[in-house]
Chains A and B, each alone.
Chain A
Amino acid sequence: MRKVSFPYMGTSYIPFERLLTAFGNEVVVPPRPTEETISYGTKYAPEFACYPFKIVLGTYIQVLEAGADTLVSSGGVGPCRAGLYTTLQEKILKDLGYEFEMITLEPPGRHLRDLIDNIKKLINDRLSLKDYISIGRFAWKQLVLLDKAERLSHKMRPLEVKRGDTTQTYKKCVELIAGAKKYSDLREIEREVELLYDAIEKKDYDPIKIGIVGEIYVLLEPSSNLEIEEMLGELGVYVERSMFLSEYTISNAVMDLFHIAGDRDAKKMAAPYFKEMCGGHGRESVGNSVLFAKRGFDGIIQLSPFTCIPEIVAKSILPKVCKEHGLGFLTISLDEQTGKEGLRTRLEAFVDLLMAKRKKAESFRVKSQYVKEMA
Chain B
Amino acid sequence: MKIGIPRALAYYAYYPFLETFFEKLGFDVVVSDKTTKEIMDLGIEDAITDACVPIKLFHGHVRNLKDRVDYVLVPRLVKIKHDATFCPKFLGLPDMLSCSIPQFKNMLEVRVDLKRGRLDLFMLCMKFAKKFKKSFFKAYNAYLKALLSFKNYTHQFLQGGIPPLGIVGQKKNSPICLAVLGYPYMLYDPYLSLDLIKKLINMGVYVVTPEMLREKDKQKQASKLKKTLFWTFSNEVIRSAYCLFENQNVDGIIHVTAFGCGPDFIVDKLMEIDAKKYEMPYLTITLDEQTGQEGLNTRLEAFVDMLKIKKAKKEAAMA
Contact = CB atoms under 8 A, between A and B. Distances in A.
B229 interface: yes
Contact of A313 (B78, B89, B231, B263): B89
B88 A95 contact: no
Nearest to A314: B92
Contacts of A75: 227
A306 B231 CA distance: 20
Contacts of B217: none
A50 B264 CA distance: 11
Interface-central residue, A48, A104, A274, by most chain B CB under 10 Å = A48
Interface string A276-307: 11111010000000000000000000000011
A48 B227 contact: no
Contacts of A53: 265
Interface residues of A, number: 44
Interface stretch (B268-276, B290-298, B299-307): B268-276
Interface string B245-265: 000000000000001111111
B230 A78 contact: yes
Contacts of B88: 79-80, 278-280, 282, 309-310, 312-313
A78 B96 contact: no
Interface string B28-47: 00000000000000000001
Which range holds the interface residue count of chain B? 35 or more
A333 interface: yes
A273 to B, nearest CB: 6
A72 interface: no
A131 to B, nearest CB: 33
A275 interface: yes
A279 B226 CA distance: 21
A92 interface: yes
Given A276-B78, A307-B260, A84 B96 contact: no
Contact of A276 (B95, B99, B264, B276): B95
A164 interface: no
A316 B273 CA distance: 34
Contacts of B89: 309, 312-313
Contacts of B51: 312, 316
B266 A333 contact: no
Interface in B76-104: 76, 78, 85-89, 91-92, 94-96, 99-100
A315 interface: yes
Contacts of B85: 78-79
A92 to B, nearest CB: 7
A31 interface: no
A273 B265 CA distance: 29
B230 A83 contact: yes
B148 interface: no
Given A83-B230, A306-B50, A276 B266 contact: no
A77 to B, nearest CB: 8
A81 B266 contact: yes
A317 B227 contact: no
Contacts of B265: 46-50, 53, 81, 307
Contacts of B168: none
Interface of A: 45-50, 53, 75, 77-81, 83-84, 87-88, 90-92, 95, 104, 273-280, 282, 306-310, 312-313, 315-317, 319-320, 333
Given A48-B265, A312-B89, 18 more contacts: A46-B266, A46-B268, A53-B265, A79-B87, A81-B265, A83-B230, A91-B273, A273-B95, A273-B99, A275-B94, A278-B88, A307-B262, A309-B87, A310-B88, A316-B95, A316-B96, A316-B100, A317-B95
21 contacts: A45-B269, A46-B269, A48-B260, A49-B265, A79-B231, A87-B266, A92-B273, A95-B273, A95-B276, A274-B95, A275-B95, A276-B91, A279-B88, A279-B91, A309-B89, A309-B262, A309-B263, A310-B88, A312-B89, A316-B100, A317-B95
Interface of B: 47-48, 50-51, 76, 78, 85-89, 91-92, 94-96, 99-100, 111, 225-227, 229-231, 259-266, 268-270, 273, 276
Top 6 nearest A-B pairs by Cβ distance? A78-B230, A313-B92, A309-B262, A278-B88, A278-B91, A48-B265
